[in-house]
Amino acid sequence: MSDTSDYQYEAFYNLMQSSDAAHNINAIKAMADTNNLISAQSELMLIPDTNTVNHNRITVGTIYLNTWALDSYELTEVQSRTLTDLAYLDPYTNGDAVYMARVMMNINPDDENNESKAMQQKPKQIVKANAVHVYPNPAKETITITFDQAISNDGTFEIWNIMGSKILSNTIPKNYTEQKVDVSNLISGIYFYIIKVNGEKFSSGKLTIINK
């Protein structure tokens, strides 16, 4: 190896050590070496959420630290949806977190059984004769939930962010066929909603908010 190459590799190594990617790697390393969740979370918090690549690193890293890093391999519906969606993105523009999502969900986008695997990984939505509609989507200040038939038990409408945190929960009283939900306090972004009736999942889906 020539001296020029030595300098180039050294420069590359120093760049990586001071980059946002290094914080992501160090967070995982902290859990592997010392099982120190606080240290790992601190490293993750050093990543500035200023672009798509870093946002994906934070998202996947947060899910990892709250599941696999704690030897818990049962993901919530929102976590599974988030990782699956990320796994099928282009890593060139969406960053190294795409590969981590693929590993966690055991997804190989180049596999010819790609579509069937995606269906297996994504949580199955329960189909009910009493259909539910959530609109508008994208939404601004208010969304409306309607049922083809009045629900016979109390229900709940939950909104979760892509990091797997529930940020809103509204009660849907029994015998209702329509319920309006105020989302004016939510920032613009991608969310997931889950509708439960009598404590069981009735429907779920992706929700886009475009508030300023």
At 210 the pLDDT is 87
pTM of the model: 0.53
Which stretch of DSSP H or E encloses residue 164? none
State the CB neighbour count (10 A cutoff) for residue 195.
Answer: 21
CA 127, 85, 201: angle at the middle one, nearest 5? 30
At 180 the pLDDT is 94
**What DSSP designation does 146 have?**
E
Question: Which tens digit of pLDDT belongs to each residue from 91-140?
Answer: 888 888 888 888 788 787 776 454 444 444 444 344 445 688 899 988 98
- List the domain boundaries for the chain: 3-121, 132-209
Which residues, in sequence order, are CB contacts of 195 under 8 Å at separation 6+?
Answer: 132, 134, 145, 155, 156, 157, 158, 172, 201, 202, 203, 204
Q: How far apart are CA 150 and CA 139, in angstroms?
A: 24
**What DSSP designation does 149 have?**
S
Rg over CA atoms, the chain: 21
CA 29 vs. chain centroid, Å, equals: 22
One-letter amino acid at 85 equals D
pLDDT at residue 164 is higher than 80: no
Question: Which tens digit of pLDDT belongs to each residue from 48-91?
Answer: 888 888 888 888 888 888 887 777 878 888 888 899 999 888 88
At 157 the pLDDT is 94
The CATH number of the domain covering residues in 132-209 = 2.60.40.3080
CA 158 vs. chain centroid, Å, equals: 15
Share of the chain above pLDDT 70, in %: 70
State the CB neighbour count (10 A cutoff) for residue 76.
Answer: 17
Q: How far apart are CA 67 and CA 152, in angstroms?
A: 35
ω into 138 cis (within 30 of 0):
yes
CA 145 vs. chain centroid, Å, equals: 23
Q: How far apart are CA 115 and CA 93, in angstroms?
A: 22
Contact between residue 174 and residue 130 where contact means Cβ atoms under 8 Å apart: no
